[in-house]
Structure 1
Amino acid sequence: MRFILSVTIPIYLLIAVGWLAVRSGMFQKAEMRVLGRFVVSFCLPALVFTALSQRRIAEVLHPVYLLAYAGGSLAMQLGGLWYARRVRGLPLSPAALRGLGMSASNSGFVGLPIAQQVIGPIAGVVLALNMIVENLLVLPLAMALADSGAQQRSRMWPALAVSLRGLLRNPLILAIIAGLFCALTGLRLPEPVARTVALVSTASSPLALFLIGGTLVGLRLQGMLGEVLQVVFGKLVLMPLAMAALLWLLPPIDPLLRTGAVLFAAMPMLSVYPVLAQKHHDEDFCAAALLAATVASFFTISALIWGLGELDGWLP
């Protein structure tokens, strides 16, 4: 239990510090966007590049892991979409956003700091693999479905093509490509440049956690708690269970990768979840779900780490 709390408490204390800094007026909530752009554009790409470029290609390309993470994410996304459509009776756009909330983890801001403490340096590789799945599959599919629900169904494929083209300007995707190229060719950056990149990468975890806390200020749960809890339950409980089930069915992989997949799957939804919903006028619900999932994840992630520790071979 001491190990579990030593992992989770510092993470959520930093989130609380970010919340207090904005709540007290020390920082403005609008300033969190600037901080977020710095983390997403520089810190996380530097970390991903460093994690990939310093390993051989065989150490960073794991087809079974990609299949498991893509399968678990897609199962939760389409399952959440089906539930929202058939059981809740929601239109396609909000249903697609419910599916996104159940399947897209906050891998960079919350998942990485926790995974680094549990599985060590390989967490950067796991993050990069997750980013491939999330940016090439989960997010484009969700946005295409949501857009097609708001307009003509025939517009789904053009919307998907636009989403995929936008990846060419995504710093994280560019960092993954560059890191894989270095891993494949053995190319290494000059030592001063490599040290600079590594230095920038070290800022990602504390800044990301501070940012999460700041973005939670002002979010409310009023009038939508029941539906919010359904999405939160799907994200924090059902998704890691689905990931564990797929890993059990597929050929065995490195225990560190297996643990990383389940840990990242158990994270709350991505921090830009409400921003993505603004186009479809569903940001209030998504903000409430983000708040509830972030608070509840302290308990569910602590319970998960304890549970993995009780299962022989799951924790290093």
Structure 2
Amino acid sequence: MPHIVDQMIVLTLLTLLGFVCFKTGIMNEMANKYFSKLIISIMCPAIIIDSVVNMHHEESQSTVLLVFAAAIILYLILPILSKICCKIFGVETSQAKLYEAMLVFSNVGFMGIPVVQAVYGNSAIFYLSIFIFVYNMFVFTYGTYLVSQGATERKFLIKDTFNAAVIGSLLGIVLYFLHIKPPATVCTAIGMIGQTTTPLAMIVIGSTLGSTPIKTIFNVRKLYFMSIVKLLLLPIAVRFIFALFIHDPVILGVCVIVAGMPVASNLVMLCNQYGGDSALLAKGSFMTTVLSVFTIPLVAWFAIMPM
């Protein structure tokens, strides 16, 4: 999967660019905060709507509902597994929610798409787009709650779950099930906005890393344990659990791949908005992205391996 390795290199280079931007004064902590708000409020809703309007309607309704159910169950099971892992590894209470967020939410878009495409072909991208849709519903509600715990600037409120990304997801549901597609020009504009999400998010992660001393980026011991659990143990657990009730090998494989991707970059953006420990999340995202060069081929093999 050479092009998957290329994707990892691209993400790493973008992160390093953000790091250099911070060190040279092009970016600062205020810029990180405002760019994070831009990504969450504008770019994430755009990429959600873009993924929905490009979904195909060729699959049977029962298959679509099965994939939706699998995605929802995945994001109900992962929080339980993440809490258990945090207890086992003795994560401090003040950081437990952040580690839970890192274990639950993965980079399912930029990283998940090429992996699923390489393993199952273009037809499986439709299944993944449903997972991305459900992921966004959870990350901008439950994920927001997790990263806001212990924040210094403001506390999480229930009204925070009704943010632009969630509204975009709800709009996506309406567009999909009513078979509504905006005019081509509007779709093009939305797509262009959505395409800027990953590059800018990785630059903000690099800039956030730039605000911490270089020697501290790789010295958090628990992040190594988290990375092993995130990239290897969780996808293995998901494979065995979901094999009990999902018998379609492609849907099962997509569940496994989604669980084994690196830590989601938009967690850093969310945390920046609340004034939480975004540096820890940036380290986790960067570390798992680098290590996933070695783990993704194993996860992909495990996803297609017959039980």
Structures share a fold, TM > 0.5? yes
Q: CA RMSD in A?
A: 3.4
TM-score with structure 1 setting the length: 0.74
Separation (CA, whole Å) in 1 of partners of 2:212 and 2:251: 35
Q: 1:224 to 1:198 in 2, by over 3 A?
A: closer
CA 234–136 in structure 1, closer or farther in 2 if over 3 Å, else same: same
Which residue type is aligned with residue 66 of structure 1?
A
Q: CA deviation at 1:206?
A: 1.7
Separation of aligned partners in 1, 2:167 and 2:236: 31
Q: 1:302 is matched with which residue? A: 293
Give the CA deviation at 1:309. Answer: 4.4
Residue 262 (structure 1) aligns with:
257
Are 2:240 and 1:239 aligned? no
Q: Is the 8 A contact 2:256 2:303 kept in 1?
A: no
CA distance in 2, matches of 1:94, 1:100: 10
How far apart, in 2, do the equivalents of 1:216 and 1:36 lie?
Answer: 14
Change (3 A) 1:9 1:290: same
Task: Select which of 205, 210, 213 maps to 1:217.
Answer: 210
Are 2:50 and 2:191, in contact at CA under 8 Å, matched by a contact in 1? yes
For structure 2, the residue ranges without an aligned partner over 5 or more in a row are 118-124
Matching residue of 1:131: 136
Question: Which residue does 2:160 correspond to in 1?
Answer: 166
Corresponding residue for 1:230? 225
Counterpart of 1:75 in structure 2 is 80
> How far apart are the structure 2 equivalents of 1:312 and 1:97?
27
Whether the 8 Å contact between 1:182 and 1:188 is mirrored in structure 2 is: yes
What is the aligned-residue identity percentage?
13
Assess if the C-alpha contact under 8 Å between 1:247 and 1:258 holds in 2: no
Supply the AA of the counterpart residue of 1:167.
T
1:2 to partner: Cα distance: 2.8
CA distance in structure 1 between the aligned counterparts of 2:302 and 2:232, rounded to whole angstroms = 17
Letter in 2 for 1:20: V
Given residue 99 of structure 1, which amino acid in structure 2 is its aligned partner? E
1:44 corresponding residue in structure 2: 44
Separation (CA, whole Å) in 2 of partners of 1:138 and 1:225 = 22
Aligned residue for 1:112?
Answer: 109
- 8 Å contact kept, 1:274–1:287: no
Matched, 1:102 2:103: yes
Letter in 2 for 1:297: T
Q: Is the 8 A contact 1:7 1:114 kept in 2?
A: yes
CA distance in 1 between partners of 2:9 and 2:142 (Å): 32
Figure out how many residues of one structure are paired with residues of the other and give that number. 284
Which residue of the partner structure matches residue 190 of structure 1? 183
Give a deviation string over 1:218-240, Cα, whole Å, max 9, x none: 23538973344334443333333
